[in-house]
Amino acid sequence: MARSRSIIIVGAGIGGLTAALTLTRAGYRAVVLEQAARLEEAGAGIQLSPNATRVLAGLGLTDRLRPHVVAPEAIRIMARSGREIVRIPLGASAEQRYGAPYWVIHRADLQAVLAAAIEQSPDITLRLGTRVEDFAVHQHGITVQARTTQNAGGEVTRDEQGLALIGADGLWSALRARLGERRAPRFAQRTAWRAVVPAPRLMPEFREPVTGLWLGRDAHLVHYPVKGGREVNIVAIVRDDWHEPGWSAPGKPDELARRFESFAPEVRALIAMPERWQKWALFDRPSRRMRPQGPVTLLGDAAHPMLPFLAQGGAMAIEDAAVLAQCLGRDEDTERALRAFEHARHRRVARAQREARRNSWRYHLTGPLGFARDTVLSALGGDRMLRRYDWLYGWQP
């Protein structure tokens, strides 16, 4: 494919890799520049709701993903006492309703499937160990200056030419800063503790093909199977401060156990199972559009970081990739196509961000407010709860 049809993508996370695949479907060549020397996806599990699996199916990835996924039968929302508040049907019900499945998967498995598809595409180049240092906009597109670390330890600087530059480099996006963003992400007063445990070690109720959500005071717990059901992903989110260097650190099990002392015995037993925890500080950004700067745009967390209280961080990046390719495929004017992409995505991702922030508050309610929340959820019932997310799961590119 002609060099003039190249799109340069910064970042080889879920959003960047998916964008490379969708762009080739629209007739472009993609060059993906990734700073890490190896693709290693951290964070353990990810939930892929129908709005995301629909895009992945359109890329022909269903059969490759199927051995790694679990289709949960339901989301069970539980009080910290162990009482079931409501059970939201998923499984066959969700697939029939939305025309695409609801899956859970280990992030590393999803990334490996995307990377394998990219390796088989003659129109995608993936450069690992490559750091973008600068870019310049010119009449025919964009030139990106990047520095690649070689196996022998030396570095090589090279220029990449393309029609457009897409920043998919995550929450701490260097490209976003280069576009004039002066404000740092804002700490959300929450930390997420993550671990994966072999399923045979757990009680039967935690091995079921179900996503469990336990609500409590200043803390909640999520668990679901990954690796085709062989392991269980556990995420504990607590109201917290952050004093560690960086934004991730090993977590002390005793510290986490104290935050769940008021939960049911089975939850405390589950919290005690992992031999090691990794904790992440959660950060947020306000919903606002960046100042346009030629044939350059952002997607995924670089554009609109999502707090994990709606399980839509990965899904929104996958949606971005699909819409980006559609806009570029429809309009030969690259800058106009990128502005159309930004306009098309702004209202939807802002709504998802707002809903995630609301859940951050709702999940940790106790006392009269917590009782009122549980009463409303129970009265709504699972079917009506699912219908409330038709706007989210029923999306199509």
Which residues are known catalytic residues? 224
β-pairing, 155-162 vs 6-10, is: unpaired
3-state secondary structure the chain: CCHHHEEEEECCCHHHHHHHHHHHHCCCEEEEECCCCCCCCCCCEEEECHHHHHHHHHCCCHHHHHHHCECCCEEEEEECCCCEEEEEECHHHHHHHHCCCCEEEEHHHHHHHHHHHHHCCCCEEEECCEEEEEEEEECCEEEEEEEEECCCCCEEEEEEEECEEEECCCCCCHHHHHCCCCCCCEEEEEEEEEEEEEHHHCCHHHHCCCEEEEEECCEEEEEEEEHHHCEEEEEEEEECCCCCCCCEEEECHHHHHHHCCCCCHHHHHHHCCCCCEEEEEEEECCCCCCCCCCCEEECHHHCCCCCCCCCCHHHHHHHHHHHHHHHHHHCCCHHHHHHHHHHHHHHHHHHHHHHHHHHHHHCCCCHHHHHHHHHHHHHHHHHHHHHCCHHHHCCCC
Q: Which two tokens stand for residue 249?
A: 């650190």
* Helix 107-119 and helix 14-25, axial crossing angle in degrees, nearest 10: 30
Distance between CA atoms of 227 and 225, rounded to whole angstroms? 7
2 Cβ neighbours under 8 A, 6+ residues apart: 29
